[in-house]
Amino acid sequence: MQSATSESGLRRAATLVAITVLLPLLLAGIGHWQAQRATEARAALLQDQAEIQRELARLEDYAARNPRGTVRMNGRSYGAEIAASWLRRQETALAGRLAAEAYRAPLP
């Protein structure tokens, strides 16, 4: 009878250790992983933004030199000014995603 009681006590102690020590460690690890992912996501968005700005500058320069020029984007031909307008919209959308990422990053 004594061994059944001690087994039950050991089981309760193991459960208590798991809840008070292991669960917080697990949650802290997940929080650290999410913070790392947020940093990587923001870096990727900043890289995309720089690429869009670079391409937009090239496209606007081309459109200024050749107003009737066409460019190929996504397998289709567009007027340079229309393509530049599309890139401006992409840049605006990306700026919104970066703003949302700035709020999301510090969240657990």
pLDDT tens string 25-75 = 999 998 888 888 888 989 999 999 999 999 999 999 999 999 888 999 889
Per-residue pLDDT, 34: 85
Query: Which amino acid type is present at position 87?
Result: L
Question: In a 3-state reduction of DSSP, which class is residue 72?
Answer: strand
CB-based contacts of 60, cutoff 8 Å, min separation 6: 84
- C-alpha span between 8 and 2 (Å, rounded): 10
- CB–CB of 32/38 below 8 Å? no
pTM value? 0.67
In 10 A of CB 2, how many CB atoms? Answer: 6
Token digits of residue 57: 């500058």
Phi (first) and psi of residue 44, to 5 degrees? -65, -40
Query: Which amino acid type is present at position 83?
Result: A
- Per domain, the residue ranges of the chain are 2-104
